[in-house]
Amino acid sequence: MADGQPVAPVQTIEDVWEAYQEDIDEVEAHIRRSLDEPSPLIKEVGLHILNGGGKRIRPLLLILCAHLCGYIAKKDLALGSFIEFIHTATLLHDDVLDEADLRRGQQTARRIWGNKTSILVGDYLYSLAMSQIAGFQNHGMNETLSDACRKMAEGEILQLCANYQPTITESDYLRIIEYKTGALVASTCKVGAIIGGATPAQQAALYHFGLHLGMAFQLADDRLDYIANGNRLGKTLGQDLKQGMVTLPLLHLLQHCSTQDRETIIHHMINQTVEEKDLLHIINLMNEHGSMAYAAHRAQEFIDAASLDLKPFDDCMAKRSLRIVAGYMLNRDR
C-alpha cells in the first residue's frame, strides 16, 4: 500500500489486514524464502508452526509503526519475517517446556518430530533471525531486538521460578509478562519506527506503545484461560492453574477470598490435584470476588496507556489501524 494514497477508512481488524495485505504478503514471501535454503527438516518444521494458524500480529505492528513514521521500504519488510522467526522460536521451546501436544488445535512440532528437533529448530530460527538482522547494520535494531530476546528468556526463567508460588506479588507478575511478552512487541514497534525514519522520541513513544500493548495482550490471554472454551482454544480451560502458573485473576482471588478457600486452592495447585469441579468452583469465586473484572480493568489500563503513547503522532490510516489492532488484541478470543 502506497502512503498518502486515498483509501476507504479502516474500521475493523479485517479492514486493517486488507489495507496492508501487500506488505503482509511480502513478509510471507520472505518467510518462505528464508526456509528454502537450509535443510528440509528445518523447512518442514518451520512451515508447520509458522503456518499453524497464528496471525502475523508482530509483522503487522512493524508495518503500521513504519507507515505511521512515514515510510516502509520493501527490503525492510524482511524484518517482519525475522521477528516472526524469533516469536516462533519461543513457541517451539515453550511447547517442549510445557510438554504440550496441541497448539491452536493442531499437533505441536514436539509431538510430531520430538523434543530434540523442536529445541534445535527453535535455536536455528532464533539465530537465523539474529544473523539476518545483523546484516541490516543498524545498531538501534540490533540492540533493541537482542535486548528483547534476553528479556524473553529471563521472563521465562522468572516464570519458572514463580510457578507454584502463590505468594508472588502483582508487581512480580507484571515484570514476568513485561519480559516474556511485552519486550518483543515493544522492540517490534521500535524497529518499525526506525525503518520509518522516526526521531529518537518517536522511537521511544512506539517502544512504549508496544510494551503496553504486549502487556495488555498477555493479561487478556491469561484471563482467557479462565473463560474460553477448550475446543475453540486448542487448549483446555484452567491450563495455567494446572501447570502452577500464577496469573492475575488467581493472584487477585488469593488476595481476596476467605482463608479457607485460599488454603484449598493452594493445596490443589501445589499438589497438582485440580479437577474440573475445583476449577469451576475457582472460576465462580473469581467472578464473585471481581477477580476477572479486575484483570480486565488492568488490561484496559494498559490499552489506554498505549493509546496515550500514540498521541504525538498525526492522525492517519496507520494510527487508526494501530488503535484497531490494540482493541483487537484486548478482545480477541484467539
Q: Is 239 in the site for its own copies (CB under 8 A)?
A: no
Please name the residues in contact with 249: beta carbons below 8 A apart, sequence gap of 6 or more: 222, 223, 226, 286, 291, 292, 294, 295
Residue 161 binds to its own copies (criterion: CB under 8 A): yes
Written as nine digits, the cell of 142 is 540490533
Q: Which of residues 11, 38, 53, 275 is near its own copies by CB under 8 A?
A: 38
Per-position x/- string for 103-132, each x denoting binding to its own copies as judged by CB under 8 A, each - no binding: ------------xxx-xxx-xx-xxx-xx-
Q: What is the DSSP string of 220-269?
A: HHHHHTTTS-HHHHTS-TTHHHHTT---HHHHHHHHHS-HHHHHHHHHHH
User: Contact letters (x/-) for its own copies, 39-58, by CB under 8 A?
Assistant: x-xx----------------
Give the one residue of 18, 156, 261, 301 binding its own copies; rule: CB under 8 A: 156
Cell 498477555 sits at which residue? 218
Interacting residue with its own copies among 15, 32, 54, 97 (CB under 8 A): 97
d(CA 37, CA 259): 59
Using rule CB under 8 A, residue 102 touches its own copies: no
Q: Please identify, among the stretches 89-97, 271-279, 296-304, 317-325, the one whose residues bind its own copies according to the rule CB under 8 A.
A: 89-97
DSSP string, 303-331: HHHHHHHTTTSPP-HHHHHHHHHHHHHHH
Of the pair 87, 252, the CB lying nearest its own copies is at 87
Residues 280-299 within binding reach of its own copies (CB under 8 A): none
Give the distance between the most distant pair of CA atoms in the chain: 63
Sole window of 12-20, 136-144, 201-209, 227-235 interacting with its own copies (rule: CB under 8 A): 136-144
From 48-56, 66-74, 93-101, 275-283, span contacting its own copies (CB under 8 A): 93-101
- Alpha-carbon 105 to chain mean position: 18
